Amino acid sequence: MCLSQTEATITSINTISKPLKDGNRLWAPSWTYTYIVDGKSYSAQSTHIAYGFDVNWYQYERVAERDGLSRPVGSAVHAFYDPNNPSRSVLDRATFGLGDAIHLTPFVLVLAKTVDFIHSGRRRAANGSS
């Protein structure tokens, strides 16, 4: 998706959390911000679009709160929005990093082996029917 960029202003900072299977929680900063596109004002929260940005999860709420202060209330930031629907925006575009590649590698290897197995079976079937 092609995103357009605009200036935005942070209006509030919060923390969000998610439970872990072991009963503990992880915490992350979340910012509410406003921005204007074609004369219309929008308000959004940095965590509302799944996979819309790289969330930094922390074991402690205080650490997430401290990270939230990296964009204090009133600060000017860039927001990236969908030009077809400007109400959909993110502060940080999600990136695909080395960690993602490492997690994806086993899937890609299994998929490649499955495709090879299917092609081999088709070749055997084609050679056996002649």
pLDDT in tens, 81-129: 999 999 999 987 765 544 444 545 565 566 566 666 676 777 777 777 5
Average of per-residue pLDDT across 45-73: 87
> Is residue 90 packed enough to be buried (19+ CB in 10 Å), middle (13-18) or exposed (0-12)?
buried
Instruction: Output the pTM of the full model.
Output: 0.68
